[in-house]
Amino acid sequence: MNNKKNTVIPVISIQGQNCTGCVTSTLCSEYPAIKNVLLQDIVPGFKLDFIFHPNIMTASGNRAMEILENSSKEKGYVLIIDGAIPTNDNGIYCVTGEKDGKKYTILEETLKLAPDALMVIALGTCAAFGGIAAANPNPTGAQGVGEILQANKIKTPLINIPGCPPHPDWLFGTIEEVLLKGLENVQLDDFKRPKTFYGQLIHENCPNRAYFDEGKFAKKLGDEGCLYELGCKGPITYADCSKRQWNSKTNWVIGCGAPCSGCTSPEYPDLLGDFYKKIIDVEVPANKRTKRIQKK
Amino acid sequence: MKKIVIHPITRIEGHLKVEAVVDNGEVKDASISGTMFRGIEIMLKGRDPRDAVMITQRICGVCPEPHAIASVSAVEEYAGLKDKIPVNGILLRNLILGTRSIADHILHFYILSGLDYIDPAQVMEYNGANQDLNTLKYFLQQGYSRPFLPRDEIDYRFDTKTTNMVVGHYIKAMDIYRKAQQAATLFGGKWPHDAAIVAGGVSQRLTADRITEFIWRLEEIADFVKNYYLPDVIAVAKTYNDYLEIGKGCRNLLAYDSYQTSSNGNYNDHLFKGGLVNNIDKYSKINIDNITEDLTHSWYQDSEPLYPGEGKTEPTADKKEAYSWVKSPRYDGMVYEVGPLASVLATYLGKKDPYIKNMVESSLSEIGTNISNMYSVAGRHLARVLSANIIVDKLSGWAQELKAEEPTVVEYDSPADGKGIGLCAAPRGALGHWLNVENGRISNYQVITPTSWNASPKDKDGQPGPYEQALIGIKVKESQSPVEILRVIRSFDPCTACAVHLVTPKKNLIGKYKVV
């Protein structure tokens, strides 16, 4: 897809306390494939221009830092952040680069780049809500991007694309929706997640749902049946994995016989209880989200 | 004397900084810093041992599956399940680790390292029928250049025709990466962060059609490894042949046994043999009790070097002689490099397998070099592609050993107290997890990752770590474009999130400290 009258949208992608899993997930997008995203219009008439991405750009060191320094000259860029932002001790737990002897933390870069951005995308549960980086006892004071923007009164529109990792369709599908419908027409839930992808519970569309309704529960891993007794967080987790599946529908978590870990939730990983133990203090199916802490 | 600081090092995993002292165009000293940390090991305390597989995979989203396998292996030893894992479970772990490691190596050579050797801008002059190259040409003709520009001044050496061919492979590698991850996901559940690798085995139930689909999906991946990746690495080694001498490193190698295979039906043999290699080609067995972590130049309280199962993490951020959050793993007090180079050479020298012998020797003879030049930038790339070749030749056979409809996982039962060790050959080398459990919950968890070995700082005897040794002595032509340093560092395939997850910072101490 190429169109000569296209609108070019600069993309700056920066990384906090991440594991790069959000990137390796994104690399596995199929339609569009990553080569299409880099080289062609993502939707007809709109070209993403990756001006900064630590894992694919040629430049290192000073030349890379100059791009960020000059970012204010870029009009209407989209800022994508993956990884959490540590806040203890002025954010020194994640230093992303250095220029002329000055070190820049992910906290400083976020505060510098977010105000002028067209929109901010917090990619992955760490960027959206703190995620694994903020797991108990959260040694570095890791926070999600939303908390940082709010605390610093930055009004740039924010979309959260949680998941550990997020599905590549959730990222590119959201960008496509913004480009085709306009940002103001993209419906978000209370946690700023696009309803298109996070509007329903895993449980609602789970192929094991019939087992659940019949009361046929797997007693140990490898058994046939619903995985609820083995710790499945599907009944309280909003995402479309059960319909969309993963890696071009080759498999998905519940499909491989493992319980859903609830990775798109703000409470992940601590407030959902042990991964392989049954959730016990919540009515199933749950229609309302509440903080759920498993009894120890 | 001039100091070159490169931060960020891009096209790697994570946040890495290199500082090199250069005199008269030669690197005299180098120090390596990882500049991000989370404190994963402290987060593991108090959790269900089974949950470690979920948390430790998030140490690294580029190579999570070896963390999964090391973690469940440690838990299985603690839980007394080590010898009870069904054959299906053993084979599925080989298939998941093997397929994902191949994807990882392809990602590393093309997407991460490739732009150090090939210039996509030359595709402007392409006149052929390759659709990917024509797409790139059209992209360039419209005036687009990012993320390929800006860049350093790089001494690209391939002629335009070869460049265009390899750039075509660079784009194709993106597709192959996706397809290899899809194949492994048939058994692993999703990429990244497999859900199917669990304490007791692998949770994926097996059907004949799933096994067959996996075997068919291998065809294209094997073709790419043998007919694109291997020839391209050999072409780089021949064309950039000074890099067979550059970046020698410490020239001691360490590897763990990996990929359980069966010679007599009981799966206690291994595809890659663990061991040590010293003096270029002297193989000896490894005893993991000799591994210690030295803290002399790391921001932790001094103590005698400790065995990782007893490892301490008491940060002292104002420690003067320290310059890294990475500890210094040492074997018998000596510096060791880990990675595919170690796995391939330990197996070549220690196992005497004619197939592996032939593969190593034929590729060396095609390049026109010998085993001593494996200790180099080009040698590390070669070892990585040989590792991918050795694995890809085994995958179909392992898949055919699977038994459809038979168990893949054994029921987990946990004692209150105990300990376990899990070792594995990750794509980047020797990975170890050390687990202690009290009252059914994790009381201590220590991880020594491949990049901890390779990116380690100097130790109590002043011995620099492997990256540092590989940099010291190399020539840098242009300090504004230190491409030689970047090629050396990238040849190790750094994974910084892995290396620097070890710390448990204490707030009151950290205030005095500035990240260097």
Provide ipTM, 2 decimals: 0.94
Torsion of CA A56, A61, A62, A66, to 10 degrees: 30
Name which residue leads in pLDDT, B301 or A217: A217
Residue numbers in chain A where pLDDT is lower than 50: 3, 285-296
Q: At a CB cut-off of 8 Å and minimum separation 6, what does A55 contact?
A: A20, A23, B10, B11, B12, B13, B111, B112
Amino acid A141: pLDDT: 95
Going by their DSSP bridges, the two strands A158-161 and B418-426 should be labelled as: unpaired
Tokens of B156: 């690209």
pLDDT bracket for residue B311 (50, 70, 90):
low
Going by their DSSP bridges, the two strands B291-294 and B282-284 should be labelled as: unpaired
For B137-156, what is each residue's pLDDT tens digit? Answer: 999 999 999 999 999 999 99
pTM of the model: 0.95
**Inter-CA distances, B196 with A259, B72, B184, B318, B411, Å:** 9, 11, 11, 43, 14
How far, in Å, CA of B131 to CA of B334, rounded?
A: 51
DSSP state of B465: P
Cβ-based contacts of B171 with chain A (< 8 Å): 35
Looking at CA atoms only, how far is residue B348 from chain A in angstroms? 32
Residue B504 has pLDDT above 50, yes or no: no
Give the closest of B10, B177, B198 to A57, CB-based.
B10
Residue B503 has pLDDT above 60, yes or no: no
DSSP state of B369: -
Amino acid B165: pLDDT: 98
Cβ-based contacts of B514 with chain A (< 8 Å): 92
For B435-446, what is each residue's pLDDT tens digit? Answer: 999 999 999 998
Chain A interface includes B196 (CB < 8 A):
yes
In terms of Cβ atoms closer than 10 Å to its own Cβ (0-12, 13-18, 19+), residue B269 is: middle
Closest residue by Cα to residue A134 from A153, A121, A147: A147
Interface test with B, best of A103, A247, A248 (most B CBs within 10 A): A247
Which strands, in side-by-side order, build the sheet including B429-438? B418-426, B429-438, B441-448
Closest residue by Cα to residue B411 from B171, B136, B2, B86: B86
Q: At a CB cut-off of 8 Å and minimum separation 6, what does B402 contact?
A: B88, B91, B92, B206, B211
For B280-291, what is each residue's pLDDT tens digit? Answer: 999 999 999 999
Amino acid A282: pLDDT: 58
How far, in Å, CA of B233 to CA of B170, rounded?
A: 12
Residue B95 has pLDDT above 50, yes or no: yes
Please give the mean pLDDT across all residues of chain A. Answer: 92
Residue B308 has pLDDT above 70, yes or no: no
How far, in Å, CA of A252 to CA of B215, rounded?
A: 19
Amino acid B322: pLDDT: 75
A42 φ/ψ angles, rounded to the nearest 5 degrees: -75, -40
CB contact under 8 A, A92 and B513: yes
- Cβ-contact B20, B476 below 8 angstroms: yes
- Cβ-contact B192, B427 below 8 angstroms: no
Cβ-based contacts of A250 with chain B (< 8 Å): 182-183, 185-186
Chain A interface includes B157 (CB < 8 A):
no
Looking at CA atoms only, how far is residue B61 from chain A in angstroms? 4
* B residues 456-495 lying closer than 8 A (beta carbon) to A: 480, 482, 486
Amino acid A146: pLDDT: 98
Cβ-based contacts of B47 with chain A (< 8 Å): 274
Nearest CA in chain A to B213: A250
